[in-house]
Amino acid sequence: MNKKKPFVTKEQAEEIVKQYPTPIHLYDEKGIRENARRLYQAFSWNKGFKEYFAVKATPTPRILQILKEEGCGTDCSSYTELMMSEACGFSGKEIMFSSNDTPAEDFILADRLGATINLDDITHIPFLENAIGHIPERICCRYNPGGVFQLGGSEEGFQVMDNPGDAKYGMTREQMTEAYKTLKAKGAKEFGIHAFLASNTISNEYYPALARILFQMAVELKEETGAHITFINLSGGIGIPYRPEQPVNDIAIIGEGVRKAYEEILVPAGMDDVALYTELGRYMLGPYGCLLTRAIHEKNTYKNYIGVDACAANLMRPAIYGAYHHITVLGKEDAPCDHKYDVTGSLCENCDKFAVDRMLPKIDMGDLLVIHDSGAHGFSMGYNYNGKLRSAEVLLKEDGSTELIRRAETPADYFATLDITGLFNK
């Protein structure tokens, strides 16, 4: 049977949980840094290349600071993500602001920070102008080609935007031309193009295929509007293999595929100065985080259940998407997977299951389980249903030491937004 190897050993984990009780989100600093460097190497042929990490995937300041040290910027979609980016030292062109159905105050803050604003709809042009009093000289527009996008594999049951025609994001092709003309007439001088067509593609062909679509449109928009297009943002979509049998995307092959498209389309059009951007959340962090949890109950009724001290409030992807996350029982990596379990949390919802009918080694009470690939869209999607409290985030540093990068919530945090004066004295 195919297996995934955790980045933490049983011995390390047992020492970590002595200081930080389970459940915890654990991150691998070494893996994060090495992955960022592979990405930059793959696109080193493009002198303006920059990765804008999708803050929504892992909105943790210490993680953002590590990525900043590796040359990354931030991709923000809300007021508070902009605030976090500013607090972490990002400013100006280091920030992309891509939002939809955007409140005026978000645009105001993005403009104050000098962020590059990416407009989701043509009606946002007058809305933005009214909100901030002008149109920025540097501006971007988000494109949606419509139809159905089919290429390679996406995680089964988890297709966020593989049908662009049904997605709420972006402008039509005709609107892109109209938007560029309008923005240029209002003073914009530097233009960008952005698009996101598919989520978590397990294919080296996705980025090159998207690049060809955007590169060709860039040439057309330049001809139609005379706009100076200085960057093209390929956004996210490069996936990770949640299942052990799935292939791993090769970022070097992906970068070379984009380079070939760049040289075939943009260079002949005299657009060889266009910078390329990415906004990779899952690819950058997913495999370099895990949810560490302990088995605390075993229940045998119509099925065999293992209850752990984490729940969907800590990692909700399996509950809401039916998404697969691999599980390793630490210390039993080489034991036969001859027991069938549902691995569950304690929420009052039957979907609170990290695994269903999963073949695993025999699990004993007290065993530590690693739930893999929770580094992106793990902690960030947490919530407080049933009064559950968000778990701590811990960084496994390159030298093997650990750092608490977000403490666990307490009941005081849960009640902090309420006026509970005297409540517990009644």
The residue behind tokens 């929770």 is 374
Instruction: State how far the Cα of 307 lies from the Cα of 345, in Å rounded to an integer.
Output: 6
> Which is catalytic among the residues 141, 311, 348, 351?
348
The H-or-E segment that residue 355 falls in is: strand 353-360
Q: Is 348 a catalytic residue?
A: yes
Instruction: State how far the Cα of 221 lies from the Cα of 343, in Å rounded to an integer.
Output: 52
User: How many Cβ atoms sit within 10 Å of the Cβ of residue 177?
Assistant: 17
Q: What sign for the dihedral angle of Cα 66, 70, 75, 79?
A: positive
Pairing of strands 304-308, 289-300: antiparallel
Instruction: State how far the Cα of 277 lies from the Cα of 211, in Å rounded to an integer.
Output: 11
For the record, the structure tokens of 7 come out as 């980045």
For the record, the structure tokens of 291 come out as 């949810």
* Long-range contacts (CB closer than 8 Å, 24 or more residues apart) made by 400-406: 400/12, 402/16, 402/19, 402/20, 403/62, 404/20, 405/27, 405/60, 405/61, 405/62, 405/63, 406/60, 406/62, 406/379
What's the one-letter identity of residue 230?
T
Instruction: State how far the Cα of 122 lies from the Cα of 279, in Å rounded to an integer.
Output: 22
For the record, the structure tokens of 318 come out as 């399996």
The residue behind tokens 């407009």 is 119
Neighbour-count burial for 120-137, b at 16+ CB within 10 Å, e otherwise: bbbebbeebbebbeebbe
| Distance from chain centroid for Cα 406 | 18
Question: Which residues are paired to 276 by β-bridges?
Answer: 232
Positions marked active-site: 348
